[in-house]
Amino acid sequence: MNGCLSSLCGPVMVLQPVQGKPHFSPYDAGDWHQLPATVHGKGEKRNGWMDLKVGTTVAQVTATDADDPMFGNNAKLLYSILQGEPYFSVEPKTGIIVTSWPDMDREAKVEYLVVVQVKDMLGLSGGYSSSTTVTVSLTDVNDNGPTFQQLTYTFAVPENAAVGTTVGRIMAEDGDIGINARMTYSLKDDLEGSSTFIIKTDPVTQEGVVLLAKPLDYEVKRQYVMAAEAANDHVDTRFLPLEEFRDRTTLRVVVENVNEPPVFLSPLYEWEVPENAAVGTVVGNVSARDTDTDNSPIRYSIDKRTDATKAFKIDPNKGTIAVAKALDRETTEWHNMTVEAKETTQNHLSSTVVVFIKVLDVNDNMPRLARDYQPYICEGTQAGELIQLLSAVDPDDPVEGHHIYFSMVPEEHINPNFTIRDNQDNTAGIVARRSTFTRKDQTKYLLPVVVADSGSPALSSTTTLTIGVCSCQPAGHCPTGGVEALALTMSVSMQTLLGILVCLAALTVLSVLMLMVRRHRRKQQEEMGVEVKELELSGTVSQKVLYYGEKGRGGADLDFCQPVVPLRPHPKRKERRLRREDVRASIRMSLRESHLIGPEDEVFRQFILDRLAEADQDPYVPPFDCLRTYAYEGSGSPSGSLSSLDSSSLELELEQPACNPRPYLMRLTPWYGGGEEDTIF
C-alpha cells in the first residue's frame, strides 16, 4: 500500500539493536516496510557447546503505527514469532528477541532466520499486520581442538632420495575457523626418526609436510616409526582443558631398496713410495663393497685418462696397486689417479675414488756446476786473489737440505797455479796460488773441479774448467767478445787484425762491383737488336743467314760485329743437335752428288723444300727473320768449283769489319772422302 485513510493505517516495523535506545522510524505514516537485520550474539561455552541461557536478549524490533494511540486500540501493537522457534522467541509488547534453546553450536549451525510479525488492535480481527526477518549468526570461539582422522599414516621413500624430499603430508581437523584453527606440527618419541625426518606446517592448507633430513640406507634401517603431534597456536581454557588443544598420530616411513653402486671404505687414498722402488712393489690397496643385499662381486680398474704415465697397475679382483715401471721423482713427484669399482652384475653400477701417490726422493742424481763457467785471470793478478765464484745444483731433494762440497782432483803433486776454497754454503771460489801469469808463458790452464753431495751414498761429478789468461782492461775487465777478444785468442796484435779485416772488406766490395758490371754488360748485350752470322759452304753450295732487328720504327740497322745472344734457353738442345747432324749429313750427300745433278733436279728441289719446312715448323727459333740462300754451281769438275757463288757475297765478305777475326772457311774434305767430323759449317 502506498497510503491509507485516517485511522486505517497499519504499523511499520523497525529493527532496533539491544544496545541502543528505542527510537521510531521517520518513515511517513501509512507506509508499510520490512527491514531485515543481522544480530551477532555471544555466550558462554561449556563442554564444546554454546550455552546461552534461555531468555538471553539477542535483538529488539520496533514497529510504529501512524494511528492515534489515544483513540481506541488502533495504535496498540502486538509482536509474535512466525519462524525461528524453538531457538528464539519474542516478547509480545516490547519486540525483544530472546533465546529459548539452551544448546546452540556454531559448528552445527551458523545462521538462524527469525521472522517477527506485528499486529495492531492488539491482534484482534480487523487489524493490520507487518513482518520482518532477523538473521542471527553465531561467532566462533576456540572450543574445538585438532583431531587426526587416522591413527597411523604410512609412507614409502626410496633409499636414494635426496635430502629435502617430501615424504608425505598429514592433517589434523579443527572445527573452528580463522585464528582458532591454526596449529603447529611436530615429531615426538623416536629421537632417531626425528633427526632423520622433519615436519613443517603449510600455512595455507594447515597440513603437516614430512621432509627427509638425512640420507637413507636400506641396508642399515628399513623402517622408521615416530609420533606426530598437532597443537593449536591459540588456546582458551574457558572452553576446553589445555590437553584437549593437541592431538597425536603415528607416522610409519618405509625405506625402499634401490640398487646402489659400490661404496669405497675411504673417501680418498694417499700413499708414499720411494723413487727407486722396484717394478711390482705394492704401494697400497683400495677396497669397496656392494651395500645391496645381493652383494655383487666388484672389479677394480684405473681410469686411463688420469694415469697418462702408466706408472702403476691395479689387481682387478683385490684392488692392490703396484709399481708398473721405474719411477723418477725429478720428473713426476705426485701421481694422482682415479680408481673405479664396478659391479659384475647386469646393471654394472660403478663408483670412483681418488688416489694420491707421492714419490719420495732418493739420492740418484749427481751434483753439477750451476752453469758453464768461463773463468779468466788477468796478467796482473796477485797470489790469493779470487778468480771465479762457483755454485752447484742437485736435482735431488733431501729431507735435511742440500750440502754440496767442492774440491780438486787428488794428484801426486799440488797444483802450483790454482786452488779451490770451499765456502761451506754450497759455493766455492777459485783462488790464484802465484802472481806471475802472462800470456807469453801460457794462454790458458785446465782445472778439474770435483762437486760432491752429502747423500747416502754420496755422489760426485768432475768438471774441467778452462782458465784463460787475459790482458785485462784497467778496470779488470777481460773482453769476451768482439774484435778485441778475437785478437787475444789468435795471439796477434790489434793493428794486424784490423788490417786483415780491412783487406777482406775491400776484396768483398771489389767482387761485388765486378759482378754488377758483368751483369750490366750482359743486359746490354741482350738488349742489342742486330747480329749477322754467315755460314758459307765453299764449292757448289753457299748458305748465308742474316739476323736483323729493329732499333727504331724507321728502319733496320745491321751490325755484323755484334755476337749472337740467345733470347731464351733451348729446352730440347740435345734433340736439336741430333736433327742438325741429320741436316749436315744430308748437305754432305747433296754436295757429293751435285756434280751429277742439275739445279732443276728433283733431289735438289726436295732438299730446298725440306729445309723450308724445317724452318717454318721449328718452335725454338729466335723471333727474327732468317734468309737462307742455296745456289747451284754446276756439274763440272768432281771436286767442285772454288769460285765465289756470287760477286755480291764476295763484296760483302770483303767489306766485313775487322772486328770479326774468325775466317769463314770450308774444308774440301767432304768431296774427297775426309772425316765428317772435320767439316765446318
Please say whether the beta carbons of 536 and 542 come within 8 A: yes
Lowest-confidence segment of 192-201, 228-237, 473-482, 550-559 by average pLDDT: 550-559
> What percentage of the chain exceeds 70 in pLDDT?
68
Q: Is residue 78's pLDDT more than 80?
A: yes
More confident residue, 118 or 635: 118
The one-character DSSP state at 388 is E
- Mean pLDDT calculated for residue range 71-97: 86
Query: Is there a cis peptide before residue 623, judged by omega within 30 degrees of 0?
Result: no
Please state, in angstroms and rounded to a whole number, the distance separating the CA atoms of residues 528 and 400: 89
pLDDT bracket for residue 584 (50, 70, 90): low
Please state, in angstroms and rounded to a whole number, the distance separating the CA atoms of residues 58 and 88: 9
C-alpha cell at position 298: 666388484
Q: Is residue 431's pLDDT more than 70?
A: yes
In angstroms, the Cα distances linking 374 to 237, 367, 377, 486, 559 are 105, 19, 10, 15, 71
Please state, in angstroms and rounded to a whole number, the distance separating the CA atoms of residues 634 and 650: 19
C-alpha cell at position 523: 743486359
Please state, in angstroms and rounded to a whole number, the distance separating the CA atoms of residues 117 and 32: 13
* Amino acid at site 202: D
Please state, in angstroms and rounded to a whole number, the distance separating the CA atoms of residues 593 and 582: 17
**What is the predicted pLDDT for the residue at 141?**
78
Strand partners, 335: 357
Angle at 204 between CA 202 and CA 206, to 5 degrees: 55
pLDDT tens-digit map of 596-645: 555 666 777 787 888 778 777 776 655 555 556 655 555 555 554 444 44
pLDDT tens-digit map of 363-420: 888 999 999 999 999 988 888 999 999 999 988 888 778 889 999 888 767 888 999 9
Strand partners, 462: 450
pLDDT bracket for residue 335 (50, 70, 90): very high
pLDDT tens-digit map of 21-33: 233 343 333 333 3
Q: Which one of 174-183, 465-474, 504-513 scores highest in mean pLDDT? A: 504-513
* Amino acid at site 678: D
Q: Is residue 220's pLDDT more than 60?
A: yes
Question: In angstroms, how far is the first alpha carbon of the chain from the final one?
Answer: 161
pLDDT bracket for residue 286 (50, 70, 90): very high
Chain-centre distance for alpha carbon 492? 63
* Cell 707421492 belongs to residue: 358
Residue 654: partners with Cβ closer than 8 Å, 6 or more residues away? none
The upper half-sphere exposure of residue 549, i.e. CA atoms within 13 Å in the direction of its Cβ, equals 16
Chain-centre distance for alpha carbon 252? 49
* Amino acid at site 496: T
* Amino acid at site 558: L
More confident residue, 406 or 484: 406
**What is the predicted pLDDT for the residue at 492?**
55
The one-character DSSP state at 64 is E
Choose among 385, 386, 403, 407: nearest CA to 394. 403
**463 φ, ψ to 5°?**
-125, 130
Mean pLDDT of the chain: 75
Please say whether the beta carbons of 404 and 365 come within 8 A: no
More confident residue, 447 or 623: 447
Please state, in angstroms and rounded to a whole number, the distance separating the CA atoms of residues 10 and 32: 7
More confident residue, 672 or 185: 185
